[in-house]
Amino acid sequence: MTKPKKPILRVENICKILGGKEILKSVSLSLYKGELKVLIGPSGAGKSTLLQCINFLIPPDKGRVWLEETEIQSHKKRELYTFRQQVGMIFQDFNLFDHLNALENVAIALRKVKKMSRQAARDCAVAELERVGLGDKTTLYPAELSGGQKQRVSIARALAMEPKIMLLDEPTSALDPELIGEVLSVIRNLAQGGMTMILATHQIGFTRSLADEVLFMENGSIIEQGTPEDLLSPDACTRSRDFCSRLNELYEEGV
C-alpha cells in the first residue's frame, strides 16, 4: 500500500468525559487519501463518540483535529460549518429529514448550505440518488422507504456535498439482515471509487475484504491497529481476533 506523505485527516488526543465516565481516552488517528479505516470493538467502546467528536457533533473535552493541514477551530462557527460540509456523516438510524422526500432530503443542504439554485440542486440530487440505485424513488418520503433505502438516501445526501472524507457510524446496525447487502454494496462501490472513509461496523467479512486498516477500540482507547490480515487472520493472537470470532459465532457470518 503506497500512502501519500500527508494525512487528509489527523486527529490527536481526543478526550471526552460524558456523565462522569471517560468515554474517549486520548484517541489519535491519521487518515490518508483513499483509505478505508474500520473501527471495530464492543458496544460502549467509544466508536460512535469518536466519530461524532471528529466533526464536533459532540464537542471533545480535549484534542485537536486537522483536515488537510488546517486545524479546525471549532469555536469559530463559520470554520466549523465549512469543515462539516467536507466531512460526510452517516448515522446508524439514518436521520433522514422526515418531512422531506428523498429528493428534497438530498437537495436541501445543497440549496441552504451550498447556495445552489433550486434546479441545480434538484439535478444534483437526482444524480446522487441514481448513483445509490434509487433513481425511481425520488418522490417517496422517508416513512415510505425501507431501512436499506433510507440509508442509501442518507449516503446520497452526504455524497451530494462532495465530502473529502466520510464517517460512517454503524450504517447497517439498524437494518434487517436481508437489507444489509444493498447498503454494503453502496459502501463497497464508494471504497473502490477511492472515497476516504472511517467506518464503524460489526460486519467482519466486509472489514476483511475492504479495510486498509482495522482499529480495535475498547474502553475508550484504540488498543490494536493493523491490516485485516495482521489482526484478523485465524492464527493471529489478538484481542480483535477474539472479538471477531465471537461475533462470527453469534451471527454465523461466513467470510
- Pick from 95, 173, 189, 221 the residue near other proteins by CB under 8 A: 95
Under the binding rule (CB under 8 A), the answer on residue 81 touching other proteins is yes
Beta carbon nearer to other proteins, 84 or 188: 84
- Pick from 57, 120, 174, 223 the residue near other proteins by CB under 8 A: 57
Under the binding rule (CB under 8 A), the answer on residue 68 touching other proteins is no
- Pick from 15, 17, 108, 174 the residue near other proteins by CB under 8 A: 108
Under the binding rule (CB under 8 A), the answer on residue 174 touching other proteins is no
Under the binding rule (CB under 8 A), the answer on residue 143 touching other proteins is yes
CA gap 26, 12 in Å, rounded: 7
Under the binding rule (CB under 8 A), the answer on residue 84 touching other proteins is yes
Under the binding rule (CB under 8 A), the answer on residue 82 touching other proteins is yes
Within 8 A by CB and 6+ apart from 56, the residues are: 65, 72, 74, 80, 83, 84
Beta carbon nearer to other proteins, 66 or 141: 141
Binding pattern for the stretch 175-214 against other proteins, x by CB under 8 A and - elsewhere: ----------------------------------------
CA gap 120, 105 in Å, rounded: 14
- Pick from 31, 45, 96, 183 the residue near other proteins by CB under 8 A: 96
Interacting stretch for other proteins, rule CB under 8 A, among 80-88, 201-209, 211-219, 242-250? Answer: 80-88
Task: Mark residue 50 as left, alpha or beta (left: phi above 0; alpha: psi -120 to 50; beta: remaining).
Answer: alpha
**Edge-to-edge order in the sheet of strand 70-71:** 21-31, 9-18, 62-67, 70-71
Cβ atoms 87, 67 nearer than 8 A: yes
Under the binding rule (CB under 8 A), the answer on residue 76 touching other proteins is no
- Pick from 65, 161, 183, 210 the residue near other proteins by CB under 8 A: 161
Residue with cell 490527536: 12
42 CB-contact burial (10 Å; exposed 0-12 / middle 13-18 / buried 19+): middle
Q: How far is the CB of 39 from other proteins (least distance, A)?
A: 17
Within 8 A by CB and 6+ apart from 196, the residues are: 8, 9, 31, 32, 33, 34, 35, 36, 164, 165, 166
Residues lying near other proteins in the complex (CB under 8 A): 55, 57, 77, 81-85, 87-89, 91, 93-99, 101, 108-109, 112-113, 140-144, 154, 157-158, 161
